[in-house]
Structure 1
Amino acid sequence: MRFSHLNIVARDVDRLAEFYRQVFGCRDLRAPRTLSGQDVDRGIELSGVEIRSVWLSAPGRDEVFLELFQFASPSDGAVGFANTPGYAHMAFDVCDLEATCDVITWAGGSALGEITNLGTDENPHLAVYMRDPEGNIIELGQH
């Protein structure tokens, strides 16, 4: 058994894909596709579904990928917080935390928290929560 991918349902899949390309260097693993039909409907227990699907490589891990979906008829769900039940965030280890925060903000994301040292003075582990342009939470860590 192995972990395969993480899926995010986007409001604007092209904008979100570009954000992850710019900030984290994700690459397209295949051309975008449209998923629809009875098999798709049965698989996710919805009817008349049309999904635009984009697959991006995970930074440093081609065997795991980020799958972005945009539904033609999305549900109007609220953006979660760090304590909302369900998937909370995805995490990236970065070399320069402050520079990555700046790039996230430049690319349309936003800060959620403040940079915090979760380690010690001798062995720091810096961490911060940010949001992508659609409000999904991203944890950044620097050892």
Structure 2
Amino acid sequence: MRMMMALVILGVLLLFSSFYFGVKFFDGKLEEDSYNAAIDYDKKKKIIKDNDISIVVDSIKFDGKLCSITGDVKNAENIFTLKFDAPSTKLDIPQNVEIKNGKFIINLKDITEGNYLIVAEVKVKDELVRLEKSVYIKK
């Protein structure tokens, strides 16, 4: 009888813990056509891997309240868009992005310390792929 009660209590605890973590970590986003989205995702990841494409950060420099990030997108034919993003806060960050000959310079004002993303969309063999590079800004 004690063993059965222990198993019932354990089962209830597991059930409530799964509800707790499901509510805490599920962001509410569902992909409408998940099968085709997964195939498209795998196709683009394969293009990135096969062509050895990546975002390379050369330097992060501070000059007072200004932060300048320089780098390039390795092995990309054409940088379509490039932006600096704060996914954890979802704040819009004022930025000035310059792209010349595959190299980029991102100038930021009043940036706080933390984790950010550099997001680039590049064209590779007539396919638009999205790259992300995580950077930590430390003053």
Q: TM-score, normalised by structure 1?
A: 0.30
The structure having more radius of gyration, on CA atoms, is 2
Is the strand fraction higher in 1 or 2? 2
Q: Which of structures 1 and 2 has the larger relative contact order (alpha carbons within 8 angstroms, sep 6+)? A: 1
Q: TM-score, normalised by structure 2?
A: 0.30
